[in-house]
Structure 1
Amino acid sequence: MGDPALSRRGFLAASAAAGLGMTALTGCGGDSDGGSSDGTTTVEWWNISTTEPAKSVWASLAKKFEAQNPKVKIKIVQLENDAYKSKMTALTASGKLPDIFHTWGGGVLKQQVDAGLVEDLTDRTKPWADGLLKVTKEPYIYDGKVYGIPFDMGMIGFWYNKKLFQQAGVSEPPSTWGGFLEAVSKLKAKNITPIALAGKEKWPGMYYWAYLAMRTAGIDALQKASEDKDFTGAGFVEAGRHLKQLVDLQPFQKGFLNAAYSTPTGQAAAVGNGKAAMELMGQWAPSVEADAGKGLGNDLGFFPFPAVEGGKGAITEVFGGGGGHALRRGAPQAAVDFLKFWASEATELELVKKTSVLPVLPNAEKAMTDPNLRLVQAQLKSATGFQLYLDQAYAPAVGQEVNDSVAALIAGSKSPEQVAQSITQTAKEEQ
């Protein structure tokens, strides 16, 4: 999910932390082409679509591919976001990745590419990949070579309950940070939980700090800080202070520090069941809210992350990313064929209609019916800047430290200055 950091602090330590025995590690990837004595090729496909409707839709599409390719068997491994990242970190350390695996691109995929574990798809996909929207392909390209194929693209923003906003006297979504804090206060005054947050999973909290850093320091500062290995600039500290302002208002649901994202008692369910007024989440939010809770139907609205007064960033600069697939180096031709099938117009139309992904093929936009998703798509297309998820854009250990430090700030155990220092220290250690 957009959410995202494939890494933990050192690959070997993470493999131990994930509790993976070598049987699990050797169960996929490697140099085998998955062939069997009857000529059938088994392709292992790891993804994170664990919620409905995506889980069932993806499984049925895999069956459709098998029907069209009788000599190919797709073995699906579906894992929840954090579990997926931990296991992929361990597999990367072992040098054996699945045939086809979910990726968000950025620094995490680059590390796998640099380790020689990922197939160069440039020539093998060119005839059909050229038709995909250019912006959706950028996170998977390094030195002009293609290492992943996108299946969706999107942005993080606030999903909110129109009815609860109305009850609290918030007449329209806030466009400034000051206005946002005021809206939170109004919701609290009416005994409405303003925000649902999955504190147990650290990536949802990272979104707040990342957006605040974009709005205060400016989008270019995020890249420069990564290159200079220095996140102690005033804009980053200020981002933490703005987040602390929000945390001090106690805006999150009771027990948020132990809440997961997509469970029946988690972040998405709290919004989907009308128990919290909003969540900061990606374009997949409506379908997860409906799967984990009841969903809000016409009461659900969307607005971009507010501008910060006096900041260097603009409200038209967006933060997010998309999902893609990469292949292990030496993956069989059947895996490439599956990526082609997944990027076809027929598959894309089904994904857009049934799972609320934002299309990566221009022709698939006609299948979009949800007004909120159309709004997200329009904002993406008119964006003046785009920043990939920080826990994917940066080197794995740095991305994980962003998540950990921001989670500590939200929990009250780290100051804004300490967050900036911790990320900087980890970035320097990566040299």
Structure 2
Amino acid sequence: MKRSFALIATAALVAGCGGGGGTTASEPSKDGSPAKVTLEMWHLSTSDPMKTIMANWAKEFEARHPHVTIKATVLENEAYKAKLTTLTQSGKAPDVFATWGGGVLKQQIDAELVKDLSADVAPVLGTFTKASLSAYQFDGKTYGLPYDIGMVGFWYNKKLFEQAGITQPPATWAAFLDAVGKLKAAGTTPIALAGKEKWPGHYYWTYLAMRIAGLPALQQAAVDKNFDTPDFVTAGRQLKALVDLQPFQKGFLGAGYSTPDGQAASVANGKAAMELMGQWAPSVQNDAGKGLGDDLAFFPFPAVDGGKGVATEALGGGGGLAVGADAPAEAVEFLKFVTQMDVHSKSTAAGGTLPVLQGEESAVKDPNLKVVSESLSGATGFQLYLDQAYPPAVGAEVNDSVAQLIAGTKTPEQVVRSITEVAQSE
């Protein structure tokens, strides 16, 4: 799932929504044809190719089900999260809505706002890869279906690396810090960061925690509600070591992600050498700036010498669709429709999604996305974004505290204490 995109673009706001949710249906016609149904669908694919793919999915489904009309509300990442939170807090949910799964979806499930799909999708569950489904399953039940999965890594400008004398992507954190120094010496801004939006910064702390403490430590911390350990402090100190090199673009603390002068555009326009971002990065770069074409490449987050984790453990997530508890059967049918092999593989071939279905790997055409797909297929562990894996308040504190560390207003020790305090108050 694309974590963030261009500025808010509402394809078709639900008439009279008011934060709405719920389905409108008329009485069955006298000739016995199905009652007309209007499905409210909320998603955040504001950049192509997924923007168009989502719209086409809706049109194709409507063509096959003439009694159904799909009204799509399309919002940028942060606006989407805020609007959906407001709606769910009122006790409602859209008929079909985008979700990253994890702790946020679990909270919505506990509030009885999400339909249990287990029985309805049982016949098709075997067609999905285990990794793609995991974020939407709890206690043996399924509450969403994935349409995308991917991982976070470094997207970089090969030409700027070569000009700085960097002959190959750094495989260790020490080599990465050295590469940052070489880029600065060559007069190049090493890294673009959307400091204003906070969530891009949490990738650094999370990956360092994974590499230093190991993936099981992050998972156990969620159970123990304790992040105040030496390894997590060390992760913060290593992030501070990077920050101390002043690697980010001028004004990064006020920069957005997909704005014309934001993180993606800085890389796309050759003003910064790299960004740490998910598999959607190329399409957002092309939308926000010029794009790098053949000069764009990808490498996984490096290993940390002496760490308990390994470079084959991936941080990422996917895009899924869930169904509101009061939604009609057509909402479930829509999820099943868009995840059929003949429908979904077209989006994968277009570079909009990565494989979530078994045997779909050959549909990936883009060379960089092939690298991501191959990295995922060889991953020895997988961690969902922390701001989605953990309960919402804990995920928000991770984002906030790491942002303060990057801004220089919080120490590594204060970061883990703050996250622990919020976790223990939940």
Partner deviation per Cα, 1:45-80 (whole Å, 9 max, x = no partner): 000101122212211221111111110000000011
Match of 1:34 in 2: 24
Q: TM-score, normalised by structure 1?
A: 0.93
Would you say 1:291 and 2:287 are equivalent positions? yes
Match of 1:196 in 2: 192
> Does the aligned pair in 2 maintain the 1:318–1:386 contact within 8 Å?
yes
* 1:425 CA drift (Å): 0.6
Match of 1:153 in 2: 149
Match of 1:404 among 389, 400, 404: 400
> Does the aligned pair in 1 maintain the 2:155–2:281 contact within 8 Å?
yes
* 1:224 CA drift (Å): 1.1
Match of 1:129 in 2: 125
Matched residue SS, 2:97: strand
Kindly provide the amino acid, as one letter, of the partner of residue 83 in structure 1: A
Partner deviation per Cα, 1:242-290 (whole Å, 9 max, x = no partner): 0001111111111111111112211111111111110001111111111
1-side partners of 2:329 and 2:416: how far apart?
45
> Does the aligned pair in 1 maintain the 2:19–2:83 contact within 8 Å?
no
Partner deviation per Cα, 1:306-331 (whole Å, 9 max, x = no partner): 11111111011111111100011121
2-side partners of 1:357 and 1:295: how far apart?
19
* 1:297 CA drift (Å): 1.3
Would you say 1:208 and 2:204 are equivalent positions? yes
> Does the aligned pair in 2 maintain the 1:2–1:321 contact within 8 Å?
no
* 1:298 CA drift (Å): 1.1
Match of 1:92 among 88, 92, 102: 88
Match of 1:53 in 2: 49
Match of 2:173 in 1: 177
Matched residue SS, 1:205: helix
Match of 1:324 in 2: 320
* 1:371 CA drift (Å): 1.6
Match of 1:271 among 267, 286, 292: 267
* 1:26 CA drift (Å): 5.1
2-side partners of 1:341 and 1:268: how far apart?
32
Partner deviation per Cα, 1:135-168 (whole Å, 9 max, x = no partner): 1101110010000100011110001110000000
Kindly provide the amino acid, as one letter, of the partner of residue 427 in structure 1: A
Would you say 1:358 and 2:354 are equivalent positions? yes
Match of 2:228 in 1: 232
Q: Which is further off, 143-152 or 353-362?
A: 353-362
Kindly provide the amino acid, as one letter, of the partner of residue 28 in structure 1: G
**Structure 1 spans left out of the alignment, 5+ residues:** 5-22
2-side partners of 1:132 and 1:398: how far apart?
30
* 1:227 CA drift (Å): 1.0
* Matched length: 409
1-side partners of 2:425 and 2:74: how far apart?
33
1-side partners of 2:186 and 2:113: how far apart?
54
Matched residue SS, 1:348: helix
> Does the aligned pair in 1 maintain the 2:156–2:297 contact within 8 Å?
yes
Would you say 1:373 and 2:361 are equivalent positions? no
Match of 2:417 among 401, 421, 425: 421
> Does the aligned pair in 1 maintain the 2:198–2:400 contact within 8 Å?
yes
* 1:40 CA drift (Å): 1.3
What's the Cα RMSD here?
Answer: 1.3
2-side partners of 1:197 and 1:346: how far apart?
37
> Does the aligned pair in 1 maintain the 2:49–2:352 contact within 8 Å?
no
Q: Which is further off, 348-357 or 303-312?
A: 348-357
Partner deviation per Cα, 1:14-34 (whole Å, 9 max, x = no partner): xxxxxxxxx7555223xxx42
Would you say 1:220 and 2:216 are equivalent positions? yes
> Does the aligned pair in 2 maintain the 1:25–1:91 contact within 8 Å?
no
Match of 1:139 in 2: 135
2-side partners of 1:261 and 1:321: how far apart?
18
Match of 2:163 in 1: 167
2-side partners of 1:56 and 1:374: how far apart?
22
Matched residue SS, 1:183: helix
Would you say 1:72 and 2:65 are equivalent positions? no
> Does the aligned pair in 2 maintain the 1:198–1:261 contact within 8 Å?
yes
Matched residue SS, 1:277: strand
2-side partners of 1:389 and 1:150: how far apart?
15
2-side partners of 1:110 and 1:270: how far apart?
36
> Does the aligned pair in 2 maintain the 1:345–1:363 contact within 8 Å?
no
> Does the aligned pair in 1 maintain the 2:38–2:70 contact within 8 Å?
yes
> Does the aligned pair in 2 maintain the 1:3–1:203 contact within 8 Å?
no
Would you say 1:337 and 2:330 are equivalent positions? no
Kindly provide the amino acid, as one letter, of the partner of residue 407 in structure 2: A
> Does the aligned pair in 2 maintain the 1:155–1:283 contact within 8 Å?
yes
Match of 1:119 in 2: 115
> Does the aligned pair in 2 maintain the 1:25–1:94 contact within 8 Å?
no
* 1:129 CA drift (Å): 2.8
2-side partners of 1:200 and 1:46: how far apart?
24
Q: TM-score, normalised by structure 2?
A: 0.94
**Structure 2 spans left out of the alignment, 5+ residues:** 5-15, 30-34
> Does the aligned pair in 2 maintain the 1:45–1:77 contact within 8 Å?
yes
Identical pairs, percent = 61
Matched residue SS, 1:383: coil
